[in-house]
């Protein structure tokens, strides 16, 4: 596949990408697991799975359940911890010519700061903040459901890193624009949205929840209209770049997000269906642009006509 990088290249807060199609955190492992199935050199950026200070085993019981238009998951941030990532995993990803963005997750504000400081190493292009995590000091309320808490996380991370900081917003809020404004004011360099919606499935034979954690994150095509709407709202309200995600399965889906105001997109659940989705979507975007005589992908960002 020969992609037109001149046509497709984007710059997100200083992170230069060959295409606007990234891989969504938690759906692409650490990237190297997919190397046999897709040319990592032709992916816009690899966003690695959520990384924590200490290794985490994740949730017990069933972690994934298919839904009619997507999937539920409650992985529980299983990962080997930041030291293992930096020492052994990062060098493997850095063999490829692709920006590596590290998604970080903490139980306290201080943990986010520690993670950011540790990741100030060569080979990391940026940090994405998973603020859908429970704040253990505030009774378990997710950082991403309170503008003040989200802003505090951004502020401490910015103090501890020179890297671009991307705040990943949860859709499980009343006012997504208020959340976006808060993280922008706190110094976020970009915003990615949306994270998963909260869902549940019940086994009608056993009368028990399907997932071991009872509830989980809903992703896939079912959430795309919600995601497009939120990207459109946020892109109009902030000046920093927006990365759109949520149910992107095809190039047409990706173009919707770009028109809504996203400067780049991330493919998540689709990776489970087809590991080569990110590069195929990039090619589809290029074909779309070429048919319309458009020379650079940025020319369609935010061009939806609502009046």
pLDDT tens string 104-118: 999 999 999 999 999
Backbone angles phi, psi at 103, to 5 degrees: -85, 125
- 167 forms bridges with which residues in the sheet? 129, 191
Look at residue 273 and give its three-state secondary structure.
helix
The CATH T-level fold of domain 5-300 is: TIM Barrel (3.20.20)
H or E element that contains 245:
strand 242-245
Name the residue among 246, 256, 265 with its Cα closest to residue 172.
246
Sorting pLDDT into bands at 50, 70 and 90, what band is 140?
low
Question: Can you say whether residue 246 is alpha, beta or left, with left for phi > 0 and alpha for psi between -120 and 50 degrees?
Answer: left
Asked if residue 133 has pLDDT above 80, the reply is no
* pLDDT, position 139: 60
State how far the Cα of 270 lies from the Cα of 23, in Å rounded to an integer: 10
How much helix, strand and coil, in percent to the nearest 5, is found in the chain? 35, 20, 40
Residue 71 pLDDT more than 70? yes
pLDDT of 137 strictly over 80? no
- The torsion angle over the Cα atoms of residues 33, 37, 38 and 40, rounded to 10 degrees, is 30
Taking alpha carbons only, the member of 210, 198, 297, 208 closest to residue 254 is 297
pLDDT value, residue 284: 98
The CA distance from 6 to 60, in Å, is: 46
Helix (H) or strand (E) holding 295: none
Residue 1: per-residue pLDDT = 63
Give yes or no for residue 136 having a pLDDT over 60.
no
Provide the annotated active-site residues: 133
Distances 268 to 161, 193, 236 between C-alpha atoms, Å: 26, 12, 24
Quick one: pLDDT band at residue 132, thresholds 50, 70, 90?
A: confident
Percentage of residues in the chain having pLDDT higher than 90: 95
Would the pLDDT of 281 be above 80?
yes
294 CB-contact burial (10 Å; exposed 0-12 / middle 13-18 / buried 19+):
middle
Quick check: 191 pLDDT over 60?
yes
User: Which residues in 87-241 belong to E strands, given as ranges?
Assistant: 100-104, 126-130, 165-168, 190-193, 197-200, 202-203, 208-209, 215-219
Kindly report the number of other CB atoms within 10 A of residue 36's CB atom.
7
């Amino acid at each position: 596949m020969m992609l037109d990088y001149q046509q497709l290249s984007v710059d997100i807060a200083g992170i230069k990408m060959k295409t606007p199609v990234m891989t969504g955190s938690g759906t692409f492992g650490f990237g190297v697991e997919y190397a046999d199935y897709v040319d990592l050199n032709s992916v816009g950026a690899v966003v690695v799975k959520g990384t924590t200070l200490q290794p985490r085993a994740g949730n017990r019981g069933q972690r994934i359940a298919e839904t009619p238009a997507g999937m539920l998951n409650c992985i529980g941030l299983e990962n080997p911890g930041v030291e293992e990532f930096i020492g052994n995993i990062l060098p493997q990803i850095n063999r490829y010519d692709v920006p590596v963005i590290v998604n970080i997750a903490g139980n306290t504000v201080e943990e986010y700061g520690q993670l950011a400081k540790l990741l100030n190493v060569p080979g990391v292009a940026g940090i994405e903040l998973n603020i859908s995590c429970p704040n253990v000091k505030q009774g378990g309320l997710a950082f991403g459901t309170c503008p003040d808490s989200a802003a505090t996380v951004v502020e401490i991370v910015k103090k501890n890193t020179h890297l671009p900081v991307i705040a990943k917003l949860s859709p499980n809020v009343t006012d997504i624009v208020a959340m976006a404004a808060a993280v922008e004011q706190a110094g976020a360099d970009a915003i990615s949205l949306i994270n998963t919606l909260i869902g549940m499935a019940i086994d009608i034979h056993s009368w028990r929840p399907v997932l071991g954690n009872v509830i989980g994150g809903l992703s896939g095509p079912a959430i795309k209209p919600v995601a497009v709407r939120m990207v459109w709202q946020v892109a109009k309200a902030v000046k920093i770049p927006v990365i759109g995600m949520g149910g992107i399965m095809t190039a047409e889906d990706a173009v919707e997000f770009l028109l809504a105001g996203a400067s780049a997109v991330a493919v998540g659940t689709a990776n489970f269906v087809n590991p080569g989705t990110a590069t195929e979507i990039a090619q589809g975007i290029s074909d779309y642009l070429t048919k319309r005589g458009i020379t650079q992908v940025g020319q369609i960002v935010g061009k939806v006509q609502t009046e």
